[in-house]
Amino acid sequence: MKVLTANRLADGEAVWYANGGWAEIIDNADLADDKATEDRLEAIGATALANNEVVDVNLIDVTVANGVVVPVRLREKIRAAGPTNRNDLGKQARPEAARAA
């Protein structure tokens, strides 16, 4: 399964494509579990890059367990949460992330 991720152009914030826009947390990211959906997300990413909304656009592997989206690679887990040595920084420090956890 895959989700579409990028960094927002103006501030570099890590974002995931969800519900027709770019969300600052991964929780509700649009999931692609077939080639057609992956292609659709890739096209959305390419358009957003071309429109200068985001940079460094990638489709990444995730798993979904009990409705929670979890990236497969450690790199993406850290992007989705924040530095592992600083729990007070990044997404993990946000109230909505704390609720999700």
Please give the residue ranges that form the binding site for another protein (CB under 8 A). Answer: 7, 9-14, 49, 51-52, 55-56, 72-75, 78-79, 82-86, 89-90
Chain-centroid distance, C-alpha 92: 14
DSSP at 32: B
Considering the complex, what minimum distance in angstroms separates the CB of residue 17 from another protein? 17
Considering the complex, what minimum distance in angstroms separates the CB of residue 6 from another protein? 10
Burial (0-12, 13-18, 19+ Cβ within 10 Å), 76:
buried
**CA dist list (Å): 5 to 28, 66, 75, 86, 88:** 12, 21, 12, 22, 22
DSSP at 90: S
Q: Between residues 72 and 98, which has the closer beta carbon with respect to another protein? A: 72
Q: Between residues 34 and 83, which has the closer beta carbon with respect to another protein? A: 83
Q: Which two tokens stand for residue 52?
A: 């200068």
Q: Between residues 66 and 88, which has the closer beta carbon with respect to another protein? A: 88
Q: Between residues 19 and 52, which has the closer beta carbon with respect to another protein? A: 52
Considering the complex, what minimum distance in angstroms separates the CB of residue 22 from another protein? 15
